[in-house]
């Protein structure tokens, strides 16, 4: 029972090691992200455990399979980094379907308040001894309309938080939650009426660049956009154009479509060569963080517990309740 962990960080070891030892699973942590080039590190292992920026494409899966790997265990809920067609008949795939939807929803509201009330700019000023509040005017969220794209567990938790602030909430989801009481609207109408738009949908072929030039043109002037789901839901070039023109009043981003090279790493001593990322970091009405919306003790504990249970279940030859495959995936699953 041998498992190789890719893209591992110190906090992964803290939460996983006691559970892996208790389950009798042999393991090794690698700092490298999974790719076709690094897959050979897992030769001789039965399973690999990967995270959001690991790349399990066809080449990587073939290399893993040749090395003896028969299970990919995602320690996250999203699965857009897996080539399911390449894995079919070779490697089984499991994930953590839910760990702490409230953690992501709460962080989303934190980003929204930060950009709507200009909290980071105020903090920077006062730290520098500047106590002027000129240019820091925000607006009340009570009575404003929040448009939620994606109403899985996280989306519904965010709806609850928005409602608690007295906001009007409308939502779009091609798979509406039954008997939820949510005010579902066509996407075009949601874009037209929302003061705030928050993304909580999985990244699929249908949702890739759901925020683009066309959709931004349908939005209210000064709309706030928040994304704590997957970076490629937003066309970064279109977002930058909207921010520069003033069409978009602010953005709270915990994800970025080209985040793989930088997020989760300390790049403070490096030259960042991604021009679009540099532009986002330089715009005062953009608040950006490094994919940390999930990052709470409760979520890390749940991720480790479910992942180790997935591994144990596989090694024991029992049915995998959290399995994903090319034919059995549900679009609503990655929420």
Mean pLDDT by 10 residues, the chain (335 residues): 96 96 97 96 98 96 98 94 94 91 95 97 96 95 98 96 98 93 97 98 94 98 97 98 97 96 92 96 96 95 97 96 75 34
291 is catalytic: yes
pLDDT at res. 328: 60
Q: Are 100 and 153 in contact (CB under 8 A)?
A: no
230 is catalytic: yes
DSSP 220: P
Domains and CATH numbers, the chain: 2-99+297-333 (3.40.50.720), 101-288 (3.40.50.720)
Q: Which of 272, 295, 216 is nearest to 248 (CA)?
A: 216
> Alpha-carbon distance 73 to 51, whole Å?
9
> Alpha-carbon distance 105 to 100, whole Å?
9
Dihedral angle sign, alpha carbons of residues 122, 128, 131, 133: negative
pLDDT at res. 101: 82
Instruction: Show the CA angle centred on residue 117, arms to residues 111 and 121, nearest 5°.
Output: 85
pLDDT at res. 100: 83
- Active-site hit among 55, 153, 291, 335: 291
Q: Which of 306, 307, 107 is nearest to 200 (CA)?
A: 107
pLDDT at res. 45: 98
pLDDT at res. 24: 96
Q: Are 6 and 31 in contact (CB under 8 A)?
A: no
- Active-site hit among 200, 230, 257, 335: 230
Q: Which run of H or E residues covers position 7?
A: none
> Alpha-carbon distance 139 to 45, whole Å?
55
The rounded Cα 140 to chain-centroid distance in angstroms is: 27
């Amino acid at each position: 029972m041998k498992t190789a962990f890719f893209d591992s960080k110190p906090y992964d070891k803290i939460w996983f090691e006691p559970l892996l030892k208790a389950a009798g699973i042999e393991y090794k942590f690698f700092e490298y992200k999974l790719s076709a080039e690094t897959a050979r590190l897992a030769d001789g292992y039965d399973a690999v455990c990967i995270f959001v920026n690991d790349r399990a494409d066809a080449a990587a899966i073939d290399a893993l399979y040749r090395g003896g790997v028969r299970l990919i265990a995602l320690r996250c809920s999203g699965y857009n980094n897996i080539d399911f067609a390449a894995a079919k008949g070779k490697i089984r795939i499991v994930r953590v379907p839910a760990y702490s939807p409230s953690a992501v929803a709460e962080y989303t509201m934190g980003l929204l308040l930060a950009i709507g009330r200009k909290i980071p700019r105020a903090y920077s000023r006062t730290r520098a001894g500047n106590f002027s509040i000129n240019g820091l005017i925000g607006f009340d969220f009570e009575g404003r309309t929040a448009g939620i794209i994606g109403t899985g567990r996280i989306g519904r938790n965010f709806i609850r938080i928005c409602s608690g602030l007295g906001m009007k909430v409308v939502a779009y989801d091609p798979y509406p939650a039954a008997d939820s009481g949510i005010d579902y609207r066509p996407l075009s109408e949601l874009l037209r009426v929302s003061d705030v738009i928050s993304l909580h949908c999985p990244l699929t072929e249908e949702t890739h660049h759901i925020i683009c030039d066309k959709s931004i043109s349908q939005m209210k002037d000064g709309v706030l956009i928040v994304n704590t789901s997957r970076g490629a839901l937003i066309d970064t070039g279109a977002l930058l154009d909207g921010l520069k023109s003033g069409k978009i009043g602010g953005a709270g981003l915990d994800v970025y479509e080209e985040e793989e090279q930088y997020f989760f790493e300390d790049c403070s001593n490096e030259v960042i060569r991604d021009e679009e990322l540099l532009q986002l970091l330089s715009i005062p009405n953009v608040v950006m963080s490094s994919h940390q919306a999930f990052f709470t003790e409760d979520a890390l504990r749940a991720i480790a517990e479910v992942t180790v249970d997935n591994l144990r279940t596989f090694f024991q030859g029992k049915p995998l309740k959290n399995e994903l495959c090319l034919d059995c995936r549900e679009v609503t699953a990655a929420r």
